[in-house]
Amino acid sequence: MAEEPTLRGEHTQAEIVQAAHRLFLAHGFHGTSMRQIASEAGIALGSIYNHFPSKEELFIDILVEYHPLFSVLPAMNAARGTTIEEFIRDAARRMVTGIDERMDFLNLVFIELVEFKGQHLPEILHKLYPDLLGFMQRFDQSESELRPIPMPVLVRAFLGLFFSYVMTELIIANQLPPEMQPNAFDHFVDIFLRGVLADHASAGGSGA
């Protein structure tokens, strides 16, 4: 039985995205032509424009398709815990695992920052916002346990801290002496929850 036109079109679009993803990672955005993408996908050049009006629109679609937070945020929203600490530990572990499985996305981010000066990131954030809002609401449910920090700042700090954990694991973890490697993830969670100052130091500074 012949493949239905809708399914065939979806299959072709997926082939284009996968081919463009491989070429963008290998050659960058400006170093990749639509003709190369068509050849890599095994289709005629004109067929690409039936699915994507421009190479830039195709790149944006790839940013969305391969952005780990689109799959990680729903997993984080499903985190469990009877206390805010249990919830944060579970959510952080889900985030780290999800990003670790999509490390190729970092190369796409570098292409976006270098070749586009980050101009598409607000559009990506807009698409992420519903799931991000859901995650913020999970924090809000435990507001009585938290310091009075604006919720967007708190969530931004969470994402930033554990993204930096993944980055440093990738870049320097294997270069560290053995005594600096164990329990790094748990220490990152503790830093997020309690900061880096000892209790007596924190208490002493609060009266300044």
Q: For residue 35, give the CATH number of its domain.
A: 1.10.10.60
Q: Are residues 156 and 58 in the same domain?
A: no
Distance in angstroms (rounded) separating the CA atoms of residues 8 and 35: 21
Q: Which has the closest alpha carbon to 112: 69, 60, 54?
A: 60
The DSSP symbol for 88 reads: H
Q: Are residues 109 and 198 in the same domain?
A: yes
Q: Crossing angle, helix 55-66 and helix 121-140, to 10 degrees?
A: 20
What is the per-residue pLDDT across 52-86, written as a single tens digit (0 to 9) for each? 999 999 999 998 888 888 888 888 888 988 888 89
Residue 109 structural domain: 67-205
What is the per-residue pLDDT across 156-187, written as a single tens digit (0 to 9) for each? 899 899 888 888 887 787 777 776 667 889 99
Q: Which has the closest alpha carbon to 143: 102, 84, 91, 92?
A: 84
| pTM, full prediction | 0.75
